[in-house]
Structures are given as structure tokens and as C-alpha cells.
Homo-oligomer: A and B are copies of this chain.
Amino acid sequence: MQALKDKILADGQVIGETILKVDSFLNHQVDPKFTLEMGRELAARFQGENVTKVLTVEASGIAVAIAVGLHLDVPVVFAKKKRASTQDAGFYHSKVHSFTRQESVGIYVSSKYLNSNDVVLIVDDFLAHGEALRGMADIVKQAGARLAGVGIVIEKAFQKGGEALRLEGVRIESLACITKMGNGVVEFC
């Protein structure tokens, strides 16, 4: 998606060779109209897959997931990083390791909102090592649902999460894919 690449080049901030800060429009401050455009584009790529639910994980994935859900006209479920004190007994649970934060967190989805009749599109803001996606795919599997694929805003291809998941047969669509970063330069796939 050219408009996203342009925005990354204009507003993104490269730190070292692995970190891309895009908090001016994606994960701290959000541009709602642009988010809607990104959602439209991701939804278009999975049109015809009969998706019944969009699944993301709080918090940065929510905005674009809502935009995708709006265009596919399906509910969006966001996995929680804490069990709510009011959460029912029935839930799916998986673990996600964050390389950025060097910690593991549990993610939770109530079993009321995913079941074996669902066709799930996972949506997230970033794909790097793929840990969050693996946690969500695990939850889709626990629910007995079908995984239609994964829609990502920015894939950092050099961190290999996408490559590994594609080898396992998961369809992944990224709006922008980066092969290399460093010295303030971003190279797209």
C-alpha cells in the first residue's frame, strides 16, 4: 500500500536496525481516516474468504482491526492481556513472548466469542518474530475455528516471523513489508 510506505518514510523513525517507531499514526497517535483506508485494503484482500470474526490482541491492533471488521461487516474480538475479574469460567488462553519487552504475557479470549463455526482473520499492527500471531492462532485452534489468514499493517520481514508462518501454510497479507532498516533508511520488500 503506497500511501502507507509514504507515511512510514515521512513519519517513521528508525532506531538501530530493528525498531521502527510509527507512533505518530499507528500505535500511540492514530489517524482515523487513514486507519479506515488500511482496513479497507486488508478487508479487500480477504474478501471471498467468508470471514466471520476478526481477532486481534489489545491494544495497538484494535484500531485497524475495527476498520477491517467494518469493511467485512463482522464482529471484532480482541484478546485481553489480563483475565478480567468479571470473566466467565470458559476462556481460551495462550502465551505470547515479547522480544521488545523481554517478557511473556498471557492472552485470553472468552469461549463465548469464538467457536468451531467461525472463520477467523487475525489482524495486528506489526509482524516481527510472529509471537503474538502464534498466540492468537493457538486460540483459533483451541476454538476449533478455521484460520482464514493474517492481515498485518507493517511486516518486518528480516525478523522472519512471517516466513516461518507462511512455511506452515498460513496466508499472510502485509500492507507494508520491510526487508532492511538502519542508518535512517528503510528498504521495502
Interface residues of A (CB under 8 A from B): 15, 19, 21, 23-24, 28-33, 35-36, 58-59, 62-63, 66-67, 69-70, 73-78, 80-82, 84-86, 100-101, 109-110, 112-113
Contact = CB atoms under 8 A, between A and B. Distances in A.
A143 to B, nearest CB: 13
A33 B66 CA distance: 9
A69 B81 CA distance: 25
Contact of A80 (B28, B35, B69): B28
Contacts of A100: 85-86
A80 B28 CA distance: 8
A24 B112 contact: yes
A69 B32 contact: yes
Given A23-B110, A29-B75, A63-B66, 11 more contacts: A19-B86, A21-B86, A23-B113, A28-B109, A30-B62, A30-B66, A32-B76, A36-B70, A58-B59, A62-B66, A82-B101
Nearest to A102: B85
Nearest to A82: B101
A84 B23 CA distance: 10
Contacts of A36: 70
A107 B26 CA distance: 18
A33 B73 contact: yes
B30 A76 contact: yes
A67 B70 CA distance: 11
A10 to B, nearest CB: 15
Contacts of A66: 30, 32, 35, 62-63, 66-67
